[in-house]
Amino acid sequence: MASPGRRDAPEPPDFAVLKRLARDQLVYLLEQLPGRKDLFIDADLMSPLDRIANVSLLKQHEVDKLYKVENKPVVSTSDQLCFLVRPRIRNVKYVADVVHADKAAGRSRKYKIIFSPQKFYVCEMVLEEEGIYGDVTCDEWSFYLLPLDDDLISMELPEFFRDYFLEGDHRWINTVARALQLLSSLYGPFAKTYGIGRCAKMAYELWRELEEEVEGDSQARRPEIGHIFFVDRDMDYVTALCSQVVYEGLVDDTFRIKCGSVDFGPDITSGDRSIKLLLNAQDKVFAEIRNEHFTNVFGFLSQKARNLQAQYDRRRGMDIKQMKNFVSQELKGLKQEHRLLSLHIGACESIMKKKTKQDFQELIKTEHSLLEGFDIRESASFIEEHIDRQVSPIESLRLMCLLSITENGLIPKDYRSLKTQYLQSYGPEHLLTFHNLKRIGLLTEQSPGETFTAVESKVSRLVTDRAAGKLTDAFNSLARKSNFRGISKKLGLIPRVDGEYNLKMPRDMAYVFSGAYVPLSCKIIEQVLERRSWLGLEEVVRLLNGNEFAVTDPAVEDNPTWESQRVILVVFLGGCTFSEISALRFLGKEKVAETVPDCPLARGEAKDPALPPSD
């Protein structure tokens, strides 16, 4: 992508420090419980933990056996049990069950719960209600941020979206604020802060409060990150609802990228075992194709394969000395590259098999016409057929939501019939799914004027005091129109292209959606950074329902010559997709800013946040 003449993206700061901090604290916590112990790990924490500490490190600190927290009786024989969990009621109850079972069996052991990233009062409350408060000791592992890549850190909180946007539960905002505090203590202070969305604003304010309480002496330090940008996921659902077509996004859609690594099954590895592959900039092959449109990937890979072969071939005609040199220095690298190449080719084949089917092409076509607002009737019947034929429950929902958002709600007839069809295809429990989707405004019915104002008046009644204001903030999406069409027009999200969009040499961020659509979230970021304020975007902000802010920290010298001033941290509250990451990386090379998106939520969930209400 980078062509000559462009400035390269600046180096992001060294995020590995976050890992080291987390590891050291974990070791410290484990040592607080001296002696041999068994460690029970929350399934959600398994992958992040894997990135922080390996088994041998745990063993070094006297962890005997590792178990997953699951609904099975505990078989451990150790006298000390340590639980590493997210602060959820479910997990605490699990511990309570273990303790009760031990008590019934007349066994006494030591129990310790380590909550990550923080302990909630309600957890202690449950311990108390279960009558085991005295039997268990609690600790906090302040592991807020996991660096997934050189330019990507994540909070790994998949429940953030559901808790905040659906349930209106603000508990994680505090966590976000603390994570930001950690970042600014390590890399800050930040010269300028932008943001849009209610959650963004609250997180920002809470973070400022935390900073004020500490009142550090960080002023003298030279900041490593210039700007920080907050985006609420509900500012832009559209992007999250579109099918991904860049390589990394497709790998995620097909195989699920978890914590920056992916499991390739035997069909791809062409061996008998599945392989866990870390997907980051260290993987030379992947680094070159991750952000590419899928159509380019195969060509690239075959070119790469030829190059590799050529390099192998060089050894013909070498003398002994050269050969020795080749074997000792290059061969290992080549072999490694060879292995990666074959894995990615395998993955590509598998994706092709699934995605180039007629269905997929039609799906993309429908998405594009929805984005552009053409052939709505045709799209609606495509969706209905999609549901009737039970192609994929998730994709059907995705299309329905996309239709609803782009059209400001479904027309009543479609709303009823699509829902009925869906229930008939996938079962009645999805009645609750639809209810949830309606609550967050993803799947709504086009409402005649009067109901809209009714909601509004209800809202304004609630806004009378400050406290209630915050709640209605969270639920306001109920009343909010998505206004996608208007925003799209204002920002030019649908590029007008004459002829074929050149996916090999893309002109703008639209390439991540085959040139059909510029991701809204990224467009806003681009616009604001270009203007260095929200000025001139008033109309867009109004359509997005406001809550924008831009704050300059007067204590930080805004010195544009500093390389670090070009580093921008984008915080997605509620998760982001790989397409957005690719688009931002593109933006980083095109303009003069590298972006470091932070996704508190593993990407995929954003697409379907409210699937079966599995509470």
Partner 1 sequence: MACSWNWNPLGEQTFYRRSELYSMAWDLAEELRDCLMAAAPYGGPIALLKNNWRKEKSPGSRPVLEIYSAAGLPLASIVWKSGQVVQLGWTASEDLLCIQEDGSVLIYNLFCEFKRHFSMGNEVLQNHVLEARVFHTEYGTGVAILTGAHRFSLATNIDDLKLRRMHDMPSLQKPPSCWAVLFQDRVTVILLATGQELYLLDNTSCNAMTPPGLSPQAGAYLQMAVSFNYRYVALYTDTGYIWMGTATFKEKLGEFSCDIRAPPREMVWCARPRSKQRAVVVAWDRRLMVAGNTEECIQFVLDEDSYLVPELDGVRIFSRTSHEFLHEIPEASQEIFRIASMAPGALLLEAQKQYEKESQKADEYLREIKDKEQLSEAVQQCIEAAGYEHEPETQKSLLRAASFGKCFLDRFSPESFVRMCQDLRVLNAIRDYQIGIPLTFAQYKQLTIEVLLDRLVLRRLYPLAIKICEYLRLSEIQGVSRILAHWACYKVQQKDKSDEEVAQAINQKLGDTPGISYSEIAGRAYECGRTELAIKLLEYEPRSGEQVPLLLKMKRSKLALSKAIESGDTDLVYTVVLHLKNELNRGNFFMTLQNQPVALSLYRQFCKHQERETLKDLYNQDDNHQELGNFHVHTSYASEKRIEGRVAALQNAVDEYYKAKNEFAAKATEDQIKLLRIQHRLQEDLDKPYLDCSLHDTISHLILDGKHKRAEQLYREFKIPDKRFWWLKISSLAECGDWEEMEKFSKSKKSPIGYLPFVEICVKYHNRHEAKKYAARVVPEQKVKAFILVGDLDQAADAAIEHKSESEMSLVLAKCSPAIDATVVEKLNRARAQILKK
Q: Which residues bind partner 1 (CB under 8 A)?
A: 88-90, 93, 120-122, 125-126, 129, 163, 167-171, 173-174, 202, 205-206, 213, 215, 385, 388-390, 416, 419-421, 423-429, 431-432, 435, 462, 466-468, 470-472, 613, 615
What b/e string do you get for 180-199 counting C-beta neighbours within 10 Å, with b at 16 or more? Answer: bbbbbebbbbbbbbbbbbbb
Minimum CB–partner distance for residue 389 and partner 1 (Å) = 6
Nearest residue (CB) to partner 1, 272 versus 465? 465
* Residue 602 DSSP symbol: -
Nearest residue (CB) to partner 1, 125 versus 281? 125
SS3 of residue 453 by DSSP: helix
- Are the C-beta atoms of residues 63 and 75 closer than 8 Å to each other? no
Minimum CB–partner distance for residue 142 and partner 1 (Å) = 15
User: Can you tell me the distance from the alpha carbon of 570 to that of 150, in angstroms, rounded to the nearest whole number?
Assistant: 14
Minimum CB–partner distance for residue 88 and partner 1 (Å) = 8
β-sheet bridge partners, residue 116:
none
Minimum CB–partner distance for residue 171 and partner 1 (Å) = 4
Nearest residue (CB) to partner 1, 130 versus 553? 130
Nearest residue (CB) to partner 1, 2 versus 431? 431
SS3 of residue 457 by DSSP: helix
Length of the chain: 615
β-sheet bridge partners, residue 574:
none
The DSSP-derived string for 394-450 is: HHHHHHHHHHHHHTTSB-HHHHHHHHHHHHHHH-TTHHHHHHHHHHTTSS-B---HH
SS3 of residue 118 by DSSP: coil
With tokens 């552009």, the residue in question is 372
> In Å, what is the CA distance from 609 to each residue of 167, 474, 606?
12, 15, 5
What b/e string do you get for 90-127 counting C-beta neighbours within 10 Å, with b at 16 or more? Answer: ebbebbbebbeebeeeeeebebbbbbbbbbbeebbebb
CB atoms near residue 310 (< 10 Å): 9
What b/e string do you get for 348-363 counting C-beta neighbours within 10 Å, with b at 16 or more? Answer: bebbeeebeeeebeeb
Nearest residue (CB) to partner 1, 416 versus 504? 416
Nearest residue (CB) to partner 1, 267 versus 388? 388
* Residue 551 DSSP symbol: E
User: Can you tell me the distance from the alpha carbon of 270 to that of 274, in angstroms, rounded to the nearest whole number?
Assistant: 9
- Are the C-beta atoms of residues 45 and 77 closer than 8 Å to each other? no
**What strands lie across the sheet with 594-599, from one edge to the other?**
146-149, 152-154, 594-599, 567-573, 227-232, 192-196, 548-552
Minimum CB–partner distance for residue 606 and partner 1 (Å) = 21
- Are the C-beta atoms of residues 515 and 503 closer than 8 Å to each other? yes
Question: What sign results for the dihedral spanned by CA atoms 204, 569, 605, 26?
Answer: negative
- Provide long-range contacts, Cβ within 8 A and 24+ apart, for 305-314: 305/341, 305/345, 308/334, 308/337, 308/338, 308/341
Nearest residue (CB) to partner 1, 163 versus 372? 163
Nearest residue (CB) to partner 1, 216 versus 333? 216
Nearest residue (CB) to partner 1, 309 versus 451? 451
Minimum CB–partner distance for residue 352 and partner 1 (Å) = 18
Minimum CB–partner distance for residue 548 and partner 1 (Å) = 19
Nearest residue (CB) to partner 1, 87 versus 260? 87
As given in the structure block, the two tokens for residue 65 are 């056996």
SS3 assignment for 76-107: CCCCEEEEEECCCHHHHHHHHHHHHHHHHCCC
Element holding 171 (H helix, E strand)? helix 171-187
Nearest residue (CB) to partner 1, 168 versus 486? 168
Minimum CB–partner distance for residue 432 and partner 1 (Å) = 5
Minimum CB–partner distance for residue 351 and partner 1 (Å) = 21
Minimum CB–partner distance for residue 18 and partner 1 (Å) = 23
Nearest residue (CB) to partner 1, 121 versus 316? 121
Minimum CB–partner distance for residue 202 and partner 1 (Å) = 6
Nearest residue (CB) to partner 1, 385 versus 557? 385
Minimum CB–partner distance for residue 133 and partner 1 (Å) = 13
Nearest residue (CB) to partner 1, 120 versus 549? 120
Minimum CB–partner distance for residue 598 and partner 1 (Å) = 20
Nearest residue (CB) to partner 1, 77 versus 460? 460
Minimum CB–partner distance for residue 610 and partner 1 (Å) = 12
Minimum CB–partner distance for residue 443 and partner 1 (Å) = 13
* Residue 223 DSSP symbol: P
Backbone angles phi, psi at 166, to 5 degrees: -90, -50
Question: What sign results for the dihedral spanned by CA atoms 163, 165, 166, 170?
Answer: positive
